[in-house]
């Protein structure tokens, strides 16, 4: 299992130089990958292109970029440019976002999200494979579009998929999924099972499962969870995440956080590997003095051990 870190999910207010520095620090520590959330701050794809020019080894990915505001041909062009800029270390993670953002804030219809994603992938996936996109649907009608991005190779795409229909689409059409606010029981019995079944039925390779979790190495887990609950409150209120937390049988985001000593963290991360998570994506919760540095060091020790 690959070990990565998340940038942006904790809402920390960082400058562009800070973000680049986080990635450089992770690379120096031996971490496998860095994933960037796309919220109302820096554009994640563009930022990762910059990071790609300032690093040499670490894998890069978005977790995730919303689809509705970006035409699939435009996101393909931008993402393949980032792939070329980083020596093909980039994975494009896409997702629907949430009705409150897409419909209430941006004014798009969120009436048929599954249809939207199926059509989106039908245009996007040929382009990231270096093929021509020809598709006639209800939302997208694309005729003979092809992209020529020198240096870009076939780029992986993972979809933020939580419900059964979205998991089927991710397994059939994309390269896997990228999750957030999913506990280990739900990950095993719902996410991974449905995703693998869909990929197998479509004759595709074993899908990639990127699992994002709040993480902190601490000897005061209860106090840490209280602060995590405060910082991640919004995630427990969004319907798609709330459904996953309810399925897990927990009250809120802090209850799926991996918080404790070295033995607890090692055991929980091993559990995720055993159930089929291919990429562990740690959103390090810097809620105590020195928490970020010691948690990063521990994750690196697992990766390098």
- Please give the radius of gyration of the chain, using alpha carbons only, rounded to the nearest integer: 18
Q: Are strands 2-7 and 33-36 parallel, antiparallel or unpaired?
A: parallel
Question: Residue 63 in 3-state DSSP?
Answer: coil
Give the Cα separation of 91 and 94 in Å (integer). Answer: 10
Does pLDDT of 195 surpass 70?
Answer: yes
Q: Where are the strands (E) in 184-295, listed by range?
A: 208-217, 258-260, 279-284
Give the pLDDT score at 304: 75
Report the DSSP beta bridge partners of residue 259: 216
Residue pLDDT, tens place only, 13-70: 689 999 999 999 999 999 999 999 998 899 999 999 999 999 999 999 999 999 999 9
State mean pLDDT over 152-162.
98
How many CA atoms are closer than 13 Å to the CA of 120, on its beta-carbon side? 28
Asked if 282 and 216 count as a contact pair (C-beta separation under 8 A), the reply is no
Residue 93 β-bridge partners: 158
Task: Return the residue matching tokens 């910082």.
Answer: 231
Domains of the chain and CATH, by start? 2-223+256-304 (3.20.20.30)
The 10 Å Cβ neighbour count of residue 41 is 16
Please, what is the average pLDDT of the chain? 96
Predicted TM-score (pTM) of this structure: 0.96
């Amino acid at each position: 299992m690959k070990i990565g870190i998340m940038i942006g999910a904790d809402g920390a207010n960082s400058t562009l130089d800070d973000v680049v520095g986080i990635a450089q620090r992770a690379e120096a520590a031996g971490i496998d990958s860095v994933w960037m959330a796309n919220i109302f701050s820096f554009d994640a794809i563009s930022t990762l292109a910059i990071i790609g020019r300032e690093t040499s080894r670490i894998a890069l990915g978005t977790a995730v970029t919303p689809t509705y505001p970006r035409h699939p041909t435009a996101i393909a062009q931008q993402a393949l440019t980032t792939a070329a800029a980083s020596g093909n270390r980039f994975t494009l993670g896409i997702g629907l976002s949430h009705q409150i953002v897409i419909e209430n804030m941006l004014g798009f219809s969120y009436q048929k999200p599954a249809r939207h994603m199926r059509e989106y992938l039908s245009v996007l996936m040929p382009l990231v494979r270096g093929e021509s996109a020809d598709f006639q649907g209800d939302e997208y009608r694309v005729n003979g579009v092809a992209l020529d991005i020198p240096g870009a190779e076939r780029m992986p795409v993972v979809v933020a998929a939580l419900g059964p229909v979205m998991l089927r689409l991710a397994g059939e059409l994309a390269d896997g999924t990228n999750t957030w606010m999913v506990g280990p029981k739900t990950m095993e019995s719902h996410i991974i099972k449905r995703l693998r079944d869909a990929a197998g039925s479509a004759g595709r390779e074993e899908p990639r499962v990127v699992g994002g979790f709040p993480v902190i190495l601490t000897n005061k887990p209860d106090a840490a969870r209280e602060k995590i609950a405060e910082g991640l409150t919004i995630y427990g209120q969004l319907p798609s995440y709330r459904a996953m937390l309810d399925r897990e049988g927990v009250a809120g985001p802090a209850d799926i956080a991996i918080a404790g000593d070295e033995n607890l963290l090692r055991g929980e991360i091993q559990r995720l590997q055993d159930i089929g998570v291919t990429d562990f994506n740690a959103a390090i919760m810097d809620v105590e003095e020195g928490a970020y540095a010691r948690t990063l060091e521990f994750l690196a020790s697992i990766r390098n051990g």
